[in-house]
């Protein structure tokens, strides 16, 4: 039979509390741990609950802001004007936060969701804005270039066996690609012809830097890992 740690009374099997002193016998705690309530699992659930509560709070704040701006715009201007921009911006910001809070373990899903969210934001702003449309010729290709580069760099980071200067070199190359796509899109939108100038200079400047980083990564031991190189 078990013995109470507080008063020394013999206890029958299965008792949760001592019948004499009323203190816990420790059986409940052991059963909780065996049922999956280990400290690490409790901490994981606590973090998930915190993220969910923060997500709910950001949603309340975002949609309260949308409601307040819409009411003010209707009362002051007798119609919807600037509140439309505020509303779509708050909605897209909340979607950004939703992806970060609820999909933190899936970076590629976050990047894909952010790309779609940004495309939606730019498309709606283009529709609401007067003047020459700019979303399809400029906003869409630049957004796709940035999101695709971020997804490729993330996939490289997750798949690469050695994470070192090679990732920084790849980042420089992707940045040069984004600059080229941006200038091509702007040239086609404004003049109808492409004349690569500043993006070409950027790419030419970045290429030798990337090659040097790749060389140091694959040829020198210090370049194999960023933590060893920077003593992290």
Summarised one tens digit per residue, pLDDT across range 147-193 is 899 988 888 887 776 677 888 889 999 999 999 999 999 999 988 89
Backbone angles phi, psi at 21, to 5 degrees: -100, -15
For 97-142, how does the pLDDT look when each residue is reduced to its tens digit (9 = 90+)? 999 888 877 888 888 899 999 999 999 999 988 888 899 999 999 9
> Three-state SS for 21?
coil
Sequence ranges of the domains in the chain = 1-37, 131-232
For the entire predicted model, the pTM comes to 0.67
Give me the pLDDT at residue 31, please. 47
Given pLDDT bands bounded at 50, 70 and 90, which one contains residue 39? Answer: low
Tokens of 227: 């933590």
Report in angstroms the alpha-carbon separations of 142 from 118, 138, 179.
11, 6, 9
Give me the pLDDT at residue 143, please. 92
Give me the pLDDT at residue 47, please. 79
How far is it, in rounded angstroms, from Cα 105 to Cα 109? 9
Q: Are 207 and 155 in contact (CB under 8 A)?
A: no
């Amino acid at each position: 039979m078990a013995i109470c740690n507080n008063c020394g009374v013999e206890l029958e099997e299965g008792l949760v509390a001592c019948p004499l002193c009323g203190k816990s016998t420790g059986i409940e705690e052991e059963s909780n741990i065996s049922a999956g309530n280990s400290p690490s699992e409790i901490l994981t659930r606590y973090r998930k609950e915190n993220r969910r509560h923060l997500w709910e709070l950001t949603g309340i704040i975002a949609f309260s802001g949308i409601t307040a701006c819409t009411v003010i715009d209707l009362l002051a201007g007798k119609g919807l004007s600037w509140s439309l921009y505020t509303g779509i911006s708050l909605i897209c910001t909340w979607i950004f936060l939703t992806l970060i809070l609820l999909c933190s373990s899936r970076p590629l899903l976050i990047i894909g969701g952010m790309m779609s969210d940004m495309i939606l934001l730019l498309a709606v702003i283009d529709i609401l804005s007067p003047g020459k449309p700019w979303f399809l010729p400029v906003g869409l290709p630049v957004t796709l270039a940035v999101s695709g580069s971020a997804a490729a760099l993330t996939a490289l980071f997750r798949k690469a066996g050695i994470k070192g200067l090679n990732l920084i070199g790849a980042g420089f190359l992707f940045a040069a690609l984004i600059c080229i796509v941006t200038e091509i899109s702007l040239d086609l939108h404004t003049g109808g012809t492409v004349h690569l100038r500043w993006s070409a200079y950027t790419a030419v400047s970045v290429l030798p830097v990337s090659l040097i980083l790749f060389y140091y990564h694959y040829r020198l031991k210090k370049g194999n890992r960023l933590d060893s190189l920077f003593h992290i």
